[in-house]
Structure 1
Amino acid sequence: MLSLRRSLQTIAPRLALQQHRQLSSSIPRSNLFDFFRRAGVKDESKPVPKQTKTKDVMKELESGESEVVSDKRVKLRVLGAPPKDESWEQERNQFEVNAWPLKATAPELQETQVTEALQNAYNKHFTSSNDTSASYLDQSLDDLNLRFSYTKEVSRELSVIIPDAVLSKVQTIGDVYEYLTTKVAGRRYDENQPEAIYLDPKEFEGLNITIRDAISEKRNKKLRFKEALAGARNAEKARQEELLQKALNS
């Protein structure tokens, strides 16, 4: 009886394992309706185009059978870039806005150009007559709207800016003329060296002060050294040729 019980205990796990394997490894069977359903579905996958070899493409281009379309614009998509809306170009309808002048100084600007710009703005905003006398320099600019309109016209014509700090101080056109001729025309300014000091030698004429351009002097010094070195080389070459000629003649 004990041996029979042990045999049953040994056989029972095997039967359970076989039943479990049969249930998990059962193969699903299709019926007739699945066949018709599968036949009615269209294959929407696109056929893969046949790859053309590079040498064949080159032969077609060389023979003239194929042409390269060069006027076709290719739009590159940049991942992470914000979408570009170009509709404003159509709505603009060829309307353009000129950039506001950003130069604080103008080394190439002449005093005659400043005078002409001031006179043109004066004739436009104050009088219709072409009065070119110096009396226009005494014209008052107490009206802030008129002062802004006048200086804006001058700034646009000369392509230079007049800071707000200057606009708040000028009282007459003569003040604008003095600022443009002393602080803007013929002046230099390097944004990379905002603390640099520029001195005009003309301002120190007649004084016991000499203004020298260190950069020009250094450049001239290098040029003189190169010229002296070239002269020494030519002299040495001539001396060697002379010695060689003497040796051949002796």
Structure 2
Amino acid sequence: MSSVRMIVRPSARLSRSSVIQSTPVLTRALHTSTVRYDFFSWLKDRKKSKKEPVKSTKEVISEIESGKDIVEKNENVSTIELIPENFIGTFDKNRNVIPLDTVPFNRWLNADKITTEAALNKVILDSYNETFGTHLTDITDNTLGDAFTDIIQKFTFTKFLQIKSGFILSDYQFTILACPKSFREYYLKEFVSGKSLRFKESEPNAIHLDGNSFKAPNIRVIEDIPAKDVRIKYKRLVNEVNNLENKITEDAIENAKQL
């Protein structure tokens, strides 16, 4: 900071010439700018930052299976208890509670699905008798080959057939099948044979072959192997290979010790 000294003579007016500036006035402009960081500064700050240890996958899975709370709570976070005093207004707790015992679930399909031809024959006869009020007892009766003349009777027969058999029939098959005998043939081919249980939505047009698909003696169809059996066999083979490799390693170590 510069200082100014003034000399005033007695009995004289203060004039511009009487002010003597002993030292010149010095000024300095101060400028500020933002700090510019370079790439090395970023690396240095990154090294200084606190790194949280990363848990392995096995540790996370074991903690989840054991029921341990792996979420670390922050002490600075304030929580509110779920008590009535912390809620504004009133709410009927029973408002969204659905009494499942009073809900009329329509379980119209039989849980026990038919698996044999004899069971299917009984279902066909019972469905036909309940629809037309008859008392047929033989599946080879010619009446079962007559086409339906009333759409309501056909629908009623099909409904009884689905309820008793446990299998749902598509609208397309309901339309093209004309008589009870044709329904029986379709159920034998699609359901009793187990074909519907092998159906996959990812492969809707897949063709399932079995030993009866070809009559030639030189054609042999290998049956489908369940995925569970494949996994068990693969695991057994892997264990055998591992045991064999361990035995070879142990024999090599023993031979090296003897040398």
Is the helix fraction higher in 1 or 2? Answer: 1
Q: Which has the higher contact order (CA 8 A, sep 6+)?
A: 1
TM-score by length of 2: 0.47
